[in-house]
Structure 1
Amino acid sequence: MRRISYSGASFLTTAAVADALLPLVIALGISQTTETLELPAVNSTGKPMTVKLVVGPQSELISIPEESPGEIADTAAALAYLRARTQTLTPPEPFAFYETGAVTDFDPDFDFDSDRHEIATTT
């Protein structure tokens, strides 16, 4: 489990949710977007709960490992959403650009007569 500290408060969630949340916050910052999230968590007595938070470009999160008094039953939907949003907001990797040069054999006597579409050589 991991404790997420955010805006003067904290909550306990799974390591997988915490690991998916942080890249999303980075992607939101890059895209200058704010989003409301509902994340699975546990309270201090170990009972499951849902945490609602708004994250965006100015969000500062801390993820700290911690022992849990309880377990979160199902995080699959939250994980799928966090990962999908991160992928949507993350710009694609730029294509590799390779500069190539061409070397040709140049014959200064070669001439192409474009009006007649014939190749003529000058001697």
Structure 2
Amino acid sequence: MERIYYAGDRFLTGTEVARALVEYAAALARQGSAAAIEIPVRHTDGTLGVVNFLVGPASQLVTESLDGDAGEEIVDEPLVARLRALTADLAPMHPVARPSAVEPEGTSGYDWTDEV
């Protein structure tokens, strides 16, 4: 479990959920953008709920790992996958050069060293 500190409050959620949220917030900050994301949380009385976080460049979002009796780990694999996909979409593009399968125009495959 992770405790998220945000806007003067704190929330318990799953470790993977918290980490994916922080990574997404960092990616948004790099882009100078913001988004609202709902994540599952465990309230102090043990009930489950949902909190809507506004994350972006000005977000002051901190997480803390909890050991012990924080309750059963909150798992939301579809949310984590969506946050990771959104984070990947915000990653800078890096061109990758691949060798061409086609010879450039004007080359015949002739070995010019045979003339020497």
Q: Identity across aligned pairs (percent)?
A: 36
TM-score (norm 1): 0.70
| Equivalent position SS for 1:4 | strand
Q: Cα offset for 1:92?
A: 2.7
Q: Greater relative contact order (Cα 8 A, min sep 6): structure 1 or 2?
A: 2
Q: What's the counterpart of residue 69 of structure 1?
A: 71
RMSD of equivalent CA atoms: 1.7
| Equivalent position SS for 1:68 | coil
Bigger-Rg structure (1/2): 1
Q: Partners in 2 of 1:71 and 1:34 — Cα distance?
A: 27
Q: Cα offset for 1:71?
A: 4.1
Q: Partners in 2 of 1:16 and 1:94 — Cα distance?
A: 30
The number of equivalent residue pairs is: 95
Q: Deviations over 1:22-67 (max 9, x none)?
A: 1111110111111000001111122211111111111111111124
Unpaired runs of at least 5, structure 2: 98-116
Q: Cα offset for 1:14?
A: 0.6
Q: What's the counterpart of residue 91 of structure 1?
A: 92
Unpaired runs of at least 5, structure 1: 97-123
Q: Partners in 1 of 2:50 and 2:38 — Cα distance?
A: 6
> Displaced runs of 4+ in structure 1, greater than 2 A?
69-72, 92-96
Q: What's the counterpart of residue 40 of structure 2?
A: 40
Q: Partners in 2 of 1:71 and 1:35 — Cα distance?
A: 25
